Structure 1
Amino acid sequence: MLTSPSSWMIWLIVATVVPPLLITLVSIYPVRRFAYQLGLVAHPGGHSTHVNATPLGGGIGIWLGILITFAAATLAIYLAQHDPSLRSRVPAPLLPYLEGASSRMGQLWSLLAAGSVLVILGVTDDRRGGVNPFFRLLVEFAVAAYVVYGLGFGLTAFIEIAWLTNLLSVIWIVGLINSFNMLDNMDGLSGGVAAIIAASMAIVMLTTPDPETNCPQVLVAALLLVVCGALLGFLWHNRPPAKIFMGDGGSYLVGFLVAVAMLMATFAGNDQPRPHAMLAPLCAMAVPLYDMITVLWIRIRQGRSPFIGDRSHFSHRLVELGLSRTQAVLTIYLVTGTCGLASILLTHVGVWQAMMVIGIVGCMLLLVIILESTQWQHNDE
């Protein structure tokens, strides 16, 4: 029986990462095979940098990996509650979480249903080559509003104005959906960055106790770890040269689940107040948000539509500076990993140390901006 904190956490990580990894890895093979018949193909040309027709729909495999894993978990929790012999096999440290997980299964499946709407939207976009951007935003805002107002997930930003925190929560969800979608522009990029962020925030959840229970936030950590596992299974197919792309369906789903997981979480433990810990999600998400903000700034500054894709992304700019595509992706991985480590530290240090951690993230982004400034000036000419 697993009794020590380290042993049951390892058991939890294996149980939540391995199944979605295998399910996604296997399920993408038929998607790749039938992608052309389904009309899920990305053709070279336009703002795309790939040179061969490549299947889309990797997000379908990610969606299946997440959905099937949680279906199995729901069944296991139900059986463990009603079968004493099965219950006896559950690691003792996880027994207190059975009741809590069971009580929140309704919310979880409502969340997965909302994510499935985004998958349908994204796959439709992939098939038709472009859903109207305003309709796409309307659906994204509607799904985000359902999660915030219908399911009750929202920011705990120490702002005692309910309508403002709700509005910021909706904007946060829509922003992250689009940030991951915009980051999906090179082999292994969006999936790898999302996996690093999900893993970082899962560690935060397992090491930051809920103020009400003083226990690790296992449910939120499990959600993030399942997402991470599905992404790792997808990356097997998406590693350079990519055999399949994530597509809008996958990037919408991943951005949505990561965004909502951060809203479900509590970042300040009850041992001592750490209001700065609420900045942990921003640190973890620094790279996707930086990419989205700078791309929109470049497009608007050059008088182009912010909704039309181009090659002004962070990864493309690194390539224009002289890096290979693989080097650019690995560089972004490194920056994301550093920001992820900073987010973990931020939840465990005092105010003065937190200022230094945030300063490190700020200096890193400023260094990137300085290195890129020459290329931006060249693009503006």
Structure 2
Amino acid sequence: MGSTATAINLTNMINDYYLLIGLLLFSLTSSIALEMMALPRIIYIAKKKGLYDIPNGRKSHITPVPRLAGITFLPILMLVFSICSLIIIKQSPIETVTIFGTALRKMVGFVAGSIVLAGIGIKDDLVGSRYSHKMLAQFIAACLLVSGGLYINDFNGLFGINEVPAWFGVPFTILLTVFITNAMNLIDGADGLASGIAGVALISLGTMFFIRSMFFYSLICVILVGILIPFFYYNVFNTNRKVFMGDTGSLSLGFLLAYLGIRFAMNIPSSYGTVDSPALISLSALFIPLFDALRVMIERAIKGKSMFMPDRRHLHHKLLDLGLSHRKVMINIVFWAQSLVIFNIMMVHIVNINLVFLFDIALWFGLIQLLNALKKKQKTRFALFF
């Protein structure tokens, strides 16, 4: 009798596995197809209504480019995800549906927050919006996110901290969510950069979610990758029909990455597989945009300027000022981001995570110092030449 029950459970597990692999493939292809259909129409509407991103002294493009591509991100994600959820409910055993139902409850706050950010993003892309209004919207969205029970509750030994009480974890998560959302918005300054960085984070987190048998979140990552592939093509390679994601896209993308990163780092006792130091892995996936934004804010504060005043201090600006093309800037930064994630995943198994984190910081500081030295050398050569 026991062997028969075991055989039935094993069959159910195999059937579930094939179903979930099929859903991942379906979600990837359908999200690519929907985005490929939507983007040309968005570009047409943007050109028809004159919805362009106009060049200025801080921006690096020289001709007006249609924006609003990001308006497609959330609707396509919700549509494909809802279809996949219906398939799971219809085809899976009650145990699988129960697991997904638990995850869905944590998604309610995320959906509400995403709608808030999409709204302020659309307003900013259409008629402009004050920075204070965008910050307020991000704060409201972050509060909605944690209201679903999602917050950082364990640092896994990072900074010598393990379990984190709710009185600290909840406000910390709100601030972190706002910071991640802003960081992705700020790094969106070179063709393909924000989508490339997001792609690295999504593939990394999606793979790790899959290893932990957290298929619900792998599904979200795969859908987002499928959405970003057509956008990346139009943004980087299709010079005749180039399009930007706009604030609607960068804010939504940043919020999505915050949601996924926080969930991966959150310690919830369950049957999910374990991964060494999930807090550091989550941080690694977004290390470059987060620490670039932090560095720029500190530099502005030291010089007595507003930490939120736009300028050309970001990493991509430094590379562009050295004469690299948009494509080379994107390739370099995306390569660095992916290399850092792979390095950290390998090292957390054999080295204390605080040493790994210190090494990451040292590499980052060394890179910035190298770029500053190259820029100074370039200016010296220019002065000598003239």
Using structure 1 for the length normalisation, give the TM-score: 0.83
For residues 296 and 377 of structure 2, what CA distance do their matches in structure 1 show?
A: 15
**What's the counterpart of residue 333 of structure 1?**
334
Say which of 197, 216, 220 aligns to 2:217: 220
Q: CA deviation at 1:281?
A: 1.1
Judged with a 3 Å threshold, the aligned counterparts in structure 2 of structure 1 residues 120 and 379 are, in CA distance, closer, same or farther, namely farther
Q: Tell me the equivalent position of 2:193.
A: 189
1:54-108 Cα offsets, whole Å, 9 max, x none, are 1111101222321221232233234x1xxxxxx2xx6xxx984333224543543
| Counterpart selection for 1:239 from 232, 236, 239 | 236
Alignment of 1:77-116 (within 5 A): 77-78=88-89, 80=90, 87=91, 96-116=95-115
Mean CA deviation greater in 184-193 or 276-285: 276-285
Residue 276 of structure 1: aligned partner? 277
Q: Who is 2:37 aligned against? A: 26
Q: Does 1:123 align with 2:96?
A: no
SS of the residue corresponding to residue 153 of structure 2 reads coil
Mark the CA change 1:172 to 1:39 in structure 2 (over 3 Å): closer, same or farther. Answer: farther
In the superposition, relative to structure 1, how do residues 303 and 43 fare at CA in structure 2: closer, same or farther (>3 Å)? same
Q: Which residue of 1 aligns with 2:383?
A: none
> Partners of 1:186 and 1:292 in 2: how far apart?
15
Distance 2:119 2:379 in 1: 37
Provide the C-alpha distance between the structure 1 equivalents of 2:149 and 2:232, rounded to a whole number of angstroms.
33
Percent of aligned pairs with the same residue? 22
Q: In structure 2, what is the Cα distance between the partners aligned to 1:380 and 1:303?
A: 24
Structure 1 stretch displaced more, 52-61 or 30-39? 30-39
Q: Give 3-state SS (helix, strand or coil) of 1:3's partner.
A: helix
Of structures 1 and 2, the larger Rg is shown by: 2
**In 2 relative to 1, CA 21–271 (structure 1 residues): closer, same or farther, beyond 3 Å?**
closer
Counterparts of 1:55-204 in structure 2, within 5 Å, are: 55-78=66-89, 80=90, 87=91, 96-129=95-128, 131-148=129-146, 150-157=147-154, 158-204=162-208
Measured in 1, the distance between the counterparts of 2:346 and 2:97 equals: 29
Q: Distance in 1 between matches of 2:63 and 2:273?
A: 55
**Offset of 1:364 from its aligned partner?**
3.0
Q: Would the alpha carbon gap of residues 230 and 346 (structure 1) be closer, same or farther in structure 2, given more than 3 Å must change?
A: farther
Q: Measure, in 2, the Cα distance between the counterparts of 1:301 and 1:207.
A: 43
Q: Give the superposition deviation at 1:35.
A: 0.9
The structure-2 alpha-carbon separation of the partners of 1:120 and 1:271, relative to structure 1 and needing over 3 Å to count, comes to: closer
Structure 1 residue 25: Cα displacement: 2.2
Distance 1:69 1:99 in 2: 20
Q: Distance in 2 between matches of 1:119 and 1:341?
A: 32
Could you tell me which runs of 5 or more consecutive residues in structure 1 were left unpaired when the two chains were aligned: 81-86, 209-215
> Paired residue for 2:159?
none
Secondary structure of the corresponding residue to residue 239 of structure 1: helix
Deviation at 1:169, TM superposition (A): 0.5
Q: CA RMSD in A?
A: 3.1
Q: What is the deviation of 1:357?
A: 4.5
CA distance in 1, matches of 2:361, 2:19: 36
Q: Number of paired residues?
A: 358
Q: Deviations over 1:92-129 (max 9, x none)?
A: xx984333224543543552232122011111111123
Distance apart, 1:37 and its partner CA: 4.3
- Deviation for aligned residue 1:282: 1.1
Mapped partners of 1:250, 1:315: distance in 2: 19
Q: Give the AA of the match of 2:133.
A: F
Deviations 1:28-61 (A, max 9, x none): 1111000144453101223111111111111012
Gaps of 5+ in 2: 1-10, 155-161, 381-386
Contact residue 20 and residue 215 of structure 2 kept, 8 A: no
Deviates more, 1:272-281 or 1:245-254: 272-281
- Between stretches 290-299 and 279-288, larger displacement belongs to 290-299
Deviation of the 1:147 alpha carbon: 1.3
TM-score normalised according to structure 2 size: 0.82
Q: 1:38 to 1:72 in 2, by over 3 A?
A: farther
What residue in structure 1 maps to residue 363 of structure 2? 364
1:230 aligns to 2:230 (yes or no): no
Which stretch shows the higher mean deviation, 60-69 or 32-41?
Answer: 32-41
Residue 13 (structure 1) aligns with? 24
Q: Distance in 2 between matches of 1:300 and 1:327?
A: 30
Note if contact 2:190-2:329 (Cα within 8 Å) is conserved in structure 1: no
Q: What is the CA–CA distance in structure 1 between the aligned matches of 2:206 and 2:320, rounded to whole Å? A: 31
Q: Any conservation in 2 of the 1:280–1:346 contact (CA below 8 Å)?
A: no
Assess if the C-alpha contact under 8 Å between 1:20 and 1:233 holds in 2. Answer: no
The 1:69/1:310 distance shift into structure 2, 3 A limit, reads same
Moved more, 7-16 or 324-333: 7-16
